[in-house]
Amino acid sequence: MTSVPAITLNNAVQIPQLGFGTFQIPPDDTREATLAALETGYRHIDTAQMYGNEKEVGQAVLESGLDRADVFVTSKLNNDAHGHDDALRAFERTMEELGLDHLDLFLIHWPLPGRGDFVETWKALEEIYRSGRTKAIGVSNFQPHHLRRLLESSEVVPAVNQIEVHPYLTQDDVRAFGAEHEIATEAWSPIAQGKVLDDPTINRIADRVGRTPAQVTLRWHIQRGDIVFPKSVTRKRVEENFALFDFDLSEGDIGEISALNRDERTGFDPDRFNG
């Protein structure tokens, strides 16, 4: 079975660079889809309180027959749980839903500056981290100015920042800030909800290397050093998205794909979104 490269986080925890995303997978389909991913070889599963499918993710992990230590599980704080005490209670609910003895990574899902104080929320995550119930903590959808405020007011540097990244939104400034502060970048919406799959540049490269446009795009993420987690409920697509480690893109390919940037989002702008 293919071995997925690991990224070493700033606290020495190892995270598989390729994971399986469960955003928008209905709970009724999540257990089966996650089991299919684990059978294919994925060892990194990404969920969130907002997705409503933590319970089914946990069931799949437990039913997979894999050692718990071999599966990296991430969840994220719901937007209605900002604030110290609310965040602590929300984490307890996540653990109850998952049915696991520990979490590998817990994230603040959105900064929501107009709703509450994400620094106060982060201090709750620091407590959870120190308790040992999660191996790492991080953030999602944070811009550099959010991260600067967090770093100025906190003791634990986020292990990751999970942001929207794809060829039409390369996020070079956010990724560079993360690299400067040893915050790993995770890419959500890695193929821009399918928008990049018809791109002529990506298709030309795909034809040359004998791969699909999705595989080329995901390989672009991998070679740029980001953590990426495509999602699908189709077994064939799940397997296709995993087949990324027996080919390489040239530096020229990487540059051409990166040059497609339009600063075009498929999701919310973190500076405008307040849940």
Q: How far apart are CA 85 and CA 3, in angstroms?
A: 40
Pseudo-torsion of CA 233, 33, 225, 265, nearest 10°? 40
DSSP state letter for 115: T
Q: Which residues are catalytic?
A: 51
Mean pLDDT score across all residues of the chain: 96
Residue 243 CA from chain centroid, whole number: 18
CB 193 within 8 A of CB 165: no
Of 13, 7, 231, nearest to 106 by C-alpha is 13
Q: How far apart are CA 46 and CA 161, in angstroms?
A: 13
Confidence at 1, pLDDT banded by 50, 70, 90: low
CB 196 within 8 A of CB 260: yes
| Contact partners, residue 229, CB within 8 Å, separation at least 6 | 18, 19, 20, 21, 44, 46, 186, 187, 188, 190
pLDDT at position 2, please? 67
Tens-place pLDDT, residues 110-124: 999 877 789 999 999
Tens-place pLDDT, residues 135-153: 999 999 999 999 999 999 9
Confidence at 237, pLDDT banded by 50, 70, 90: very high
| Contact partners, residue 208, CB within 8 Å, separation at least 6 | none
As a whole-number percent, the residues of the chain with pLDDT over 90 amount to: 95
Confidence at 3, pLDDT banded by 50, 70, 90: confident
CB 142 within 8 A of CB 165: no
Q: How far apart are CA 15 and CA 98, in angstroms?
A: 19
pLDDT at position 158, please? 98
User: Is pLDDT above 70 for 39?
Assistant: yes
Pseudo-torsion of CA 109, 111, 112, 118, nearest 10°? 110
pLDDT at position 197, please? 97
Mean pLDDT, residues 240-255: 97
Structure tokens at 248: 């390489």
- The beta strands (E) that lie in the chain are given as 6-8, 14-16, 20-21, 44-46, 72-77, 103-108, 134-140, 160-164, 184-188, 227-228
Mean pLDDT, residues 207-235: 97
**Phi, psi of 126, rounded to the nearest 5 degrees:** -60, -40
Amino acid at 63: E
